[in-house]
Amino acid sequence: MNPFEVHSFTLSATKSETITAELYKPAAAKCVYVLAHGAGANMHHAFMKELAAELAPWRIATLRYNFLYTEQKKKRPDFPAVAHQAVAAAIEKAHALFPALPVIAGGKSFGGRMTSQFLSDHPLPYVKGIAFVGFPLHPAGKPSTERADHLKKITLPMLFLQGSRDALAEWTLLEGVCNHLPSATLVRYEGADHSFKAAGQKLIPILAADLSRWIDSLA
């Protein structure tokens, strides 16, 4: 028996197009995490579902959702302006479902970056933090920090869960970015790549526990 209820929704991504979302709702939730997927997957990817399930025992409700391009089974990710509309719809839905609970926004890779881009220009009082699961600082093999420039405008606490072997975030560069942000926490997973694969380690339960501890620290 699952330690959470499962609810499905349809959200408006544009004036004429919709996306699907799914909520894992544990009993006595302490917060809701809006979890966006990465560029190469959708909300039903095993990583996304397992992370949401692992968060439930920590009393974290998780709202996963598709971007429009994955909803329409396209391969090319949406332009930021379109992706931001999906982020906004999902965050608004999470707040409507749990008006008394803090909202933590974020996601895996591309999804986390689209979330932070949106919130850098549209801060919301009920969003209390941003949690990145593998922030994509730069394309593989092209180290740079420009993708993090918008983070300087964000005053919310930010959590970076990051593998030490992530090809999309050279560790020293990401560490430097976090050191210059007012409220950033960087957690290193030794040997893990961008997919959080590390030899012989099951990291998703650890990611869930670390995320829960960080959320508790915000209270």
Whole-number pLDDT of residue 3: 85
Whole-number pLDDT of residue 199: 82
Q: Point out which residues pair with 5 in neighbouring strands.
A: 25
* Residue at 129: amino acid letter: G
CATH of the domain at 130: 3.40.50.1820
Q: Model confidence over 106-150: pLDDT tens digits?
A: 999 999 999 999 999 999 999 999 999 999 999 999 999 999 999
Whole-number pLDDT of residue 1: 57
**The domain containing residue 190 runs over which residues?**
4-218
Q: How many separate domains does the chain show?
A: 1
Query: How many contiguous H segments (helices) and E segments (strands) does the chain have?
Result: 6, 8
Whole-number pLDDT of residue 55: 98
Rounded to an integer, what distance in angstroms lies between the CA atom of residue 83 and that of residue 66?
10
Q: Are 187 and 210 in contact (CB under 8 A)?
A: yes
Work out the number of other CB atoms within 10 angstroms of the CB of residue 3. Answer: 11
Length in residues, the chain: 219
Rounded to an integer, what distance in angstroms lies between the CA atom of residue 84 and that of residue 19?
13
Residues of the chain falling short of pLDDT 50: none
* Cα–chain center distance at 111: 6
